[in-house]
Every structure is written in C-alpha cells, then in structure tokens.
A and B are shown apart, each in its own frame.
Chain A
Amino acid sequence: MAPQISVEDLSKHYQVHEKDPGLAGSLRAFFARKYKTVKAVDRVTFNIDSGERVGFLGPNGAGKTTTLKVLSGLLYPTSGATRVMGFTPHKREAAYLRRFTLVMGQKQQLLWDLPAIETFLINQAIYEISKADFEATLKELDQLLELGPLLRKQVRKLSLGERMKCELAAALLHRPQVLFLDEPTIGLDVTMQVRIRDFVAEYNARYGATVILTSHYMADVTALCSRLIVIDKGRLLYDGDFKALIERMAPYKIIKLQLPHPLPEGRLAAFGEVQSSEGLNAVLRIPRARATETAARILSEIEVDDVTFEDPPVEDIIRDVFAGGLIPTEKTP
C-alpha cells in the first residue's frame, strides 16, 4: 500500500530582501532591493504511514514549518513531489482540505471577541458537518479536553492554555485523518503541555489519525513520537526510530555513584571515563556494551551507597546531531 504521506526530493526556496542597518541602509533598500534566495527546505524525502506519530525536530528556521505548510497546501513546492492521502496538497482541492487539519501554536483562528462555540458553529457550516456528527464530536472533544465552561467564555478572556484547547477543538471538529501540529504547546506551562500531549496521544489512539508534530520542546517529541525526523537548515539529518538515534549518537551510558567516603580520581578511572568527581559524588561514562559488566565490577570492587544508570540527556544528543555529528540517514522502507 502506498504510504499516506509521501515527500520526495522536496525543496522550497524563496526570496527575501535584505537591508543594511540604519537609515541609509533603509533608503538603499527602498530604491534597489537586494534579494537573496533562502533554501527553507532542501531536497527532503520521507514517507509516513497512516496512524504514525512523527516528531519534527529542529532549531528555529530549520524548515519544519515550511514543510508542514507545503504538506497542507499553503505553499507551492519549488521542486519535488508531495502526496497526502492521494492528493497533491498545493492544488487545495476541497476534498483534501476536509481531511486534514493544521494547528499553529502561534496563530489563531478563533474569533477574538466571541465565545469559542461561535467559531465552532461557523466551522460546522463551512465543513458541512451534520448536526448529529457535530454534537457527537463536540461531546467527545469536550470529554478529552475538558472544555466545559470555556466554550461560553469570550476567547479574549481565556488563558493561553485554555485558548489552545479551544483551538485544537476548532481544528478537529471535521474529524481530520491527518493532523499537522506546528508548535502546539508553545508558551504553555508544563502542566498544560502535558495535557495537550496526552490529548494528542489519546486522539491518535482513538481515531488512528496520523500526527506530525513540530516542537522545540524536546519533551513533547520524546513523549509523543516513536519516530523522529530531524532537520536543520532545510536538510534532513535523521529519520528513524527514536531509540536507535540515542544508541547511535550516544553509545555510552552514564553511571552516577554516591560514595560513603571520597575516592581518588585515579581509582575511579579504572572503570571508565570520569566526567566529574566531587567529594562523595562521581559521574562516569561507560561504553554501552560494557555497562552491565562495569557496574558489576564497581559493586564488587569499591564501596558505594547508591548507583544509578542513565542515558545521556536527549538535548545533548540532538545538539550533537546539529553540531555535525551526522549519522547516515536511515531510510524508511
């Protein structure tokens, strides 16, 4: 079966005008604009199957949003082919527009001066959702998101988190099969981030909808997505399993020791690379393959109060990927 979303050799370039600082620069730019081509997306290829949850990771300006906009038909690709559910997105056929949704954490579609329910009713009419379907969907979304009284409050009086819940509901009333979520948790506090995350996971499990999520909060991606696509400066750096990335980029484990009395660093170095050793606390980096064996040796050879094993922080790993510790791209079949 063809994948639900296929992106082949996609590039999106656009022109921006540049201006030198100051008034003189502005004047020059007013009369003769200098243009520069920006490669927002540069020859990116990937496939996504129905029901997958994929995380797009990359620093600001990496091309995440541009890719999502091409997939939603808002932008024409400069070159390359994209197909979503058998449609060519940039043709923006009504049949396609009815089957996906795009949520942008930084932009809102809710009517500012009215309660969210008014926007919902307008979306109901635009998407031609029958009354029965509309009520059923709204009831389910209400359960999952606990919208309750929020629906009747003017949008401008809602908190950022409450507004995001309503935005999500407004974007899901037509029961899209594909969800493009662009920074849906931006600016939210940790509790609300977790709520939104749980909701997306639940929605995906319940309806089998495909989710592509961009975020620069690592936790969003690690909690939600088993598959990761890392892009930077428009290029695809990694596409594949989240665990596999960690094993490849970080072929070591961190062992933290709590000692009953201080030990000389030389004694610890016998087990592995010492990352830090301060008084009674020591941190060692041990190659993954020898981690268990080394731990056994530590326990038998020296006296310890406590031992913990950890994977290196995901942030560090991703930073290594961006810093050019590039691993060959794992193609999905």
Chain B
Amino acid sequence: MRYLRLMGLFLKSSLLVELEYRVNFLAQGFLGVLYAGVSIASILLFFSQSNRLGGWTLDEALIIVGLFTIFDGLMECIVLPNIKRLVENIRNGAFDFTLLKPINSQFLSTLRYARLHGLTDMAVGAVVIITAVGRIGYRPNLADLFGFGLTFGMACLIIYSIQLAMATTAFWFVKVDNFTEAFRAVYDTARFPVSAFRGGLRIALTFVAPIAFMTTVPAQAVLGRLDAGLVLGSLGFGLGLFAASAALWRYAIRSYSSASS
C-alpha cells in the first residue's frame, strides 16, 4: 500500500519535471508516434508482397506490432529513464542516497522516474490492437482476456527483469550503455511473430532471449490460441527472471558496499 502511494508520488514528481520542459515533452511525444508509424509501415510493406508472415495474417501480425509499440512505450516511460539514472548515480556516487533510505533499494532505483512521452506509444499501440482485433472479427471471451492479462503482465516482468539485470552489471563495470543498446537490437525482433524466424534463431528467441513471450504469446492469447504450455512458460519465464534479477541486485548491493571506498 505504502509502495503504491509512493509510486503515485513518483509519477507526480516526474510529471512536474516533464512539464518544466514543454518543448521537449511535445517533441518526444511526436517522435514516439513517428516510430510507431515506422513499425506499422514496415509490416504493411511486407504484406504488400505476401499475405502470410510465419503463418500470421496482416491483422494478426498487427496485434504483435501493437504490443511491440506498447512495450516500447513502457520502456521509454519507466525502464530506460530509471536505468539511465541508476548508472549515472553509481558513477557519481549519488547512489549512496538510495541505499540510505529506509525502503527497498530495488524499488527506489527502478520505479523512481517516469518519462511520460512514452504514453503516446502506448496509446498508438492500444489503438492498433483494438482495430486489428475488430477487423479479424474474433470476439475474445473472458478466458482469452484473462490469459491476455496474465501473459501481458509476465511480458512486462520479463522486460523489466532483463533490463534490470543488465543495469545491475553497472555496479562492476560502471559504463554499461552498450548493454541496453544490445537489448534494444534483440528486442527489435519482437515486432514480428516468432514463427517468422526459422530453426535455431526461433529457438533462441523463445528460450534464450524470451522474445516470444513478450509479443507473440500475448497476441495468441487475445486470439484464443493460448494453451497450458504457453501459460506455464510465460509464468515460468516471468517469475523466474524476476527472482533471478532481484537476487543479482541483492548480490550487487553487497559487493558494492564491500568494494567501494
């Protein structure tokens, strides 16, 4: 409860910062819409040549693009700004203040800041999904929606955990900008259904970097194509990666306090 209230407060203070810089706020929002447009255009371009992508029709693939855009927005909103601050704070020593607060340090380091321009991506993504589902004509039932909620939540957790683990390495290496870039490159494959990739790559994108569980699986859920295996896989990856990244965080904090001066 206390943590929820704090998140509200963090959001408010972030909003205040954004409003301090109006032009930047508007420009970033505009850029967000532009990027989402590029994603959609690339899928449309592909379907002008062919009518199936890894077994998915245009409208089905658009659901994946919508999800991709939403997560993109979420990362812009929450994950990236916090990681940027964290790495900066570790480098200049202000991270000490985080450790001095009587509150979970991982919570304070990863959910403290929000950039609101990512909201435009999320809105665009949601519109794309709703339009695509409407055009397909499939009415998701309650179970589909529940499955979607669950796999969507797990997808958020997977993205959060991977990025957290990458940022945590900053405690040892200090400069880790390249890692977030690397994740970005892999994440870009999530704009296509995982079945569009062949052989080893598809396996890697499912089990090594669980890209499949970020966009493909929630899209299957909304189309009523979810099975127990996918639900379990999604839960396993989501909770497992979260636990692992939290453990890594605790380990990093311990070594931070024993190594630095």
Contact = CB atoms under 8 A, between A and B. Distances in A.
B6 A109 contact: no
B38 interface: no
Given A122-B9, A125-B6, A128-B2, A40 B261 contact: yes
Contacts of A104: 93, 96
Interface residues of A, number: 37
B100 interface: yes
Given A74-B99, A126-B103, A14 B93 contact: no
A205 interface: no
A94 B103 CA distance: 7
A118 B13 contact: yes
Contacts of A95: 102
B100 A72 contact: yes
Given A122-B10, A125-B5, A113 B20 contact: yes
Given A97-B100, A126-B102, A109 B9 contact: no
Interface residues on B, range: 20 to 34
Among B17, B93, B261, chain A packs the most CB atoms within 10 A around the CB of B261
Contacts of A14: 258-261
B45 interface: no
B258 A97 contact: no
A207 interface: no
A114 B16 contact: yes
Contacts of B9: 121-122, 125
A75 B257 contact: yes
Interface in B209-256: 254
A108 interface: yes
A139 B17 CA distance: 26
A98 interface: yes
B260 A113 contact: no
A107 interface: yes
B20 A76 contact: no
Given A94-B103, A114-B13, A122-B10, A107 B259 contact: no
A76 B6 CA distance: 29
A106 B94 CA distance: 9
Contacts of B2: 125, 128
Contact of B259 (A15, A65, A108, A154): A15
A92 interface: yes
A97 B101 contact: yes
A202 B232 CA distance: 62
Nearest to A76: B258
Contacts of B16: 114, 118
A25 B108 CA distance: 39
Contact of A111 (B13, B99, B258): B13
- Where chain B touches its partner, the secondary structure class is helix
A12 B257 CA distance: 11
A32 B96 CA distance: 30
- Where chain A touches its partner, the secondary structure class is mixed
B13 A107 contact: no
Contacts of B93: 104, 106-107
B257 A74 contact: yes
Contact of B94 (A75, A94, A109, A126): A109
B257 A76 contact: yes
A40 to B, nearest CB: 5
Contact of A108 (B94, B102, B257): B94
Nearest to A128: B2
A107 B13 CA distance: 21
B258 to A, nearest CB: 4
A102 interface: yes
B173 interface: no
B106 to A, nearest CB: 13
Given A118-B13, A121-B9, A102 B96 contact: yes
B94 to A, nearest CB: 5
A66 interface: yes
B92 A107 contact: yes
Nearest to A13: B261
A121 B8 CA distance: 12
A90 interface: yes
B6 A126 contact: yes
Contacts of A38: 261
A127 interface: yes
B57 to A, nearest CB: 47
Contacts of B96: 69, 74, 102, 104, 107
Contact of A98 (B10, B17, B97, B102): B102
Nearest to A38: B261
28 contacts: A12-B261, A14-B258, A14-B260, A40-B261, A72-B100, A73-B257, A74-B257, A75-B257, A75-B258, A75-B261, A76-B257, A92-B99, A94-B102, A97-B102, A102-B96, A104-B93, A104-B96, A106-B93, A107-B92, A107-B97, A109-B94, A113-B20, A114-B20, A118-B13, A121-B9, A122-B10, A126-B6, A127-B102
Interface of B: 2, 5-6, 9-10, 13, 16-17, 20-21, 92-94, 96-97, 99-103, 108, 254, 257-261
Interface of A: 12, 14-15, 38, 40, 65-66, 69, 72-76, 90, 92, 94-95, 97-98, 101-102, 104, 106-109, 111, 113-114, 118, 121-122, 125-128, 154
